[in-house]
């Protein structure tokens, strides 16, 4: 054969390579690869656990946030309710005060009216009494003009002509 | 610090003394004389028709065959030692040796995954095995192990793949792996797909053979003349060998992975309507 090619030796080399491949597979390739796969699986598991914990933490955070939001909403509602009730109470008090004021004013007006009526009646009565007294005095003093006498009496006994 | 410096000086002195002793021994021992001409050495490096070695008394084989068996035995023994003493102590935070092993396995596994996403389990193993074989086999020539030929001459064992039979075996085996990937991925039709690349086993084999042989020839040439045997072999012997061990490992494994990925990819049939439309 050219180049001294020997098929028997080629077959021997094949056998040699086959033995080497098999031996390296059993002794080196397989165990190293198994270990590498095992380590990869281990770190993947760690990563998975970390991801699970992260998701759990995220969920917890979301729950807490929801609770916070709910509490905020409750606080807002309670504040609104309190404000409403305070406004209502204030309005009631105002209404009550207004009613009282109206009542007081009405009462005061009524009392004032009564007082005015009483004073007017008393004034009329005093006037009538004065008029009656003056008429009696005039009637008792002869020679004087009754009208002048009346005027004098009315002006406190001074002669109206002297002014 | 002072002790360290002192140790370094003593070490250096010991190395120099050893080198001087070896030089003196070489000069005193003298040379038995050349058994062959440079042309003969070159011819034998290519053809291996003169310096053959007996394989357990069964058959005279090329020195490359003995190198291949030695490399395989050394690799299997090293793998067994690693399996027994190192792998059971693997930890999740790797040490240096563990990192080296994981990198070696991961490198070829990732090469298989990235080039052949559909089918890569066996490919990863094959690439690891053949890559290790080519790399260690190429570095093997640096050891300069001696053997005795059937004619009784001493001979330095070459890199296994500098033997044309080993290169052909590696190239054709890689091609068979590619064909097996095609069959596994596409059934009998896959064979046709793989056979389209009929020149692949020849190109793969002779690429390996040419690359390794050129290294061997340069080394033979350098060592043939005593005047070239100082300092120069450090560059030619070590750096070139390291470099082409890396390059040849990368080239063969990458080519195998690429073609395997290409032929093992399941073919997608286009619907008849779409084909008609295209037509």
For residue B232, the enclosing domain spans 49-266
**B178: in domain:** yes
Give percent above pLDDT 90 in chain A. Answer: 62
- Name the DSSP letter for residue B59: E
Give percent above pLDDT 70 in chain B. Answer: 92
**A10: in domain:** yes
- CA-based nearest residue to B237, from B143, B148, B173: B143
Q: Which of A94-98, B16-20, B25-29 has the lowest mean pLDDT?
A: B25-29
- Name the DSSP letter for residue B95: -
**B18: in domain:** no
**B276: in domain:** no
Contacts A25 to B, Cβ<8 Å: 125, 129
**A41: in domain:** yes
Whether the CB of A147 is below 8 Å from some CB of chain B: the reply is no
Q: Is the dihedral of CA A31, B103, B114, B254 positive or negative?
A: negative
**A163: in domain:** no
**B129: in domain:** yes
For residue A44, the enclosing domain spans 2-154
Contacts B165 to A, Cβ<8 Å: 4-6, 9-10, 13
For the segment B218-232, what is each residue's pLDDT rounded down to a tens digit? 777 777 776 677 777
Return the SS3 of B48.
coil
- Quote the pLDDT of residue B52: 86
For the segment B35-90, what is each residue's pLDDT rounded down to a tens digit? 667 777 777 777 777 788 888 888 889 899 999 999 999 999 999 999 999 999 99
- Quote the pLDDT of residue B278: 54
A22 confidence band (pLDDT: 50, 70, 90): very high
Residues 6+ away with beta carbon under 8 Å from A7: A1
- pLDDT of A162 higher than 50: no
**A161: in domain:** no
Domain count, chain A: 1
Whether the CB of A46 is below 8 Å from some CB of chain B: the reply is no
- pLDDT of A57 higher than 80: yes
B233 confidence band (pLDDT: 50, 70, 90): confident
**Residue of A15, A17, A41 to mutate, testing the B interface (most B Cβ within 10 Å of its Cβ):** A17
What residue in A sits closest to B176 (Cα-Cα)? A14
Burial of residue B97, with CB atoms counted within 10 A of its CB: 0-12 exposed, 13-18 middle, 19 or more buried: middle
Distance from CA of B245 to the nearest CA of A (A): 18
Q: What is the mean pLDDT of residues B182-211?
A: 81
**A48: in domain:** yes
Instruction: Report ipTM for this prediction.
Output: 0.82
Select from B109, B133, B173 the Cβ nearest to the Cβ of A33: B109
**B84: in domain:** yes
Q: How far apart are CA B16 and CA A75, in angstroms?
A: 92
Instruction: Give me the DSSP letters along B227-271.
Output: GGSSSHHIIIIIIHHHHHHHHHHHHHHHHHHHHHHHHHSPPPPPP
The answer to whether B165 contacts A19, with C-beta atoms less than 8 Å apart, is no
Distance from CA of B278 to the nearest CA of A (A): 46
Contacts B87 to A, Cβ<8 Å: 28, 31-32, 35
**A159: in domain:** no
**A7: in domain:** yes
**A29: in domain:** yes
Distance from CA of B95 to the nearest CA of A (A): 14
The answer to whether B166 contacts A13, with C-beta atoms less than 8 Å apart, is yes
Q: Which of A9-13, A64-68, B40-44 has the lowest mean pLDDT?
A: B40-44
Domain count, chain B: 1
**B175: in domain:** yes
Contacts A8 to B, Cβ<8 Å: 59
- Quote the pLDDT of residue A163: 44
Distance from CA of A54 to the nearest CA of B (A): 24
Contacts B120 to A, Cβ<8 Å: none
- pLDDT of B274 higher than 60: no
Q: What is the mean pLDDT of residues B133-138?
A: 94
């Amino acid at each position: 054969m050219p180049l001294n090619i020997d098929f028997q030796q080629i077959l021997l080399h094949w056998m040699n390579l086959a033995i080497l491949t098999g031996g390296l597979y059993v002794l080196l390739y397989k165990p190293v690869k198994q270990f590498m796969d095992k380590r990869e699986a281990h770190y993947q598991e760690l990563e998975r656990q970390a991801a699970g914990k992260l998701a759990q933490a995220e969920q917890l955070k979301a729950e807490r946030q929801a609770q916070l939001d709910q509490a905020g909403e409750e606080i807002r509602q309670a504040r609104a309710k309190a404000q409403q009730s305070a406004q209502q109470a204030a309005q009631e008090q105002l209404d009550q005060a207004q009613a009282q004021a109206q009542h007081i004013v009405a009462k005061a007006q009524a009392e004032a009216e009564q007082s005015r009526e009483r004073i007017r009646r008393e004034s009329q009565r005093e006037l009538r009494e004065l008029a009656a007294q003056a008429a009696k005095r005039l009637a008792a003093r002869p020679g004087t003009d009754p009208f002048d006498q009346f005027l004098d009496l009315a002006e406190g006994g001074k002669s109206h002509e002297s002014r | 610090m002072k002790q360290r410096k002192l140790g370094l000086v003593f070490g250096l002195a010991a190395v120099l003394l050893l080198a001087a002793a070896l030089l003196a021994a070489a000069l005193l021992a003298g040379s038995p004389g050349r058994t062959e001409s440079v042309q003969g050495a070159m011819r034998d490096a290519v053809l291996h028709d003169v310096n053959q070695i007996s394989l357990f008394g069964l058959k005279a084989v090329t020195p490359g065959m003995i190198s291949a068996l030695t490399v395989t035995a050394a690799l299997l023994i090293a793998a067994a030692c690693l399996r027994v003493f190192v792998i059971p102590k693997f930890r999740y935070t790797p040490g240096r040796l563990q990192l080296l092993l994981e990198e070696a396995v991961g490198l070829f596994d990732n090469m298989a995954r990235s080039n052949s996403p559909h089918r890569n389990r066996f490919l990863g193993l094959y690439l690891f095995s053949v890559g290790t074989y080519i790399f260690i086999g190429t570095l093997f020539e640096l050891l300069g192990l001696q053997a005795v030929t059937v004619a009784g001459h001493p001979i330095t064992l070459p890199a296994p793949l500098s033997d044309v039979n080993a290169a052909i075996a590696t190239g054709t085996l890689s091609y068979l792996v590619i064909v097996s990937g095609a069959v596994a991925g596409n059934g009998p039709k896959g064979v046709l797909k793989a056979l389209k690349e009929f020149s692949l086993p020849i190109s793969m084999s002779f690429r390996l053979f040419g690359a390794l042989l050129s290294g061997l020839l340069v080394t033979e040439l350098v060592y043939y003349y005593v005047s070239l045997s100082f300092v120069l072999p450090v560059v030619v012997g070590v750096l070139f060998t390291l470099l082409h061990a890396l390059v040849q490992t990368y080239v063969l494994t990458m080519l195998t992975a690429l073609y395997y990925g290409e032929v093992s990819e399941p073919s997608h049939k286009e619907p008849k309507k779409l084909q008609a439309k295209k037509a």
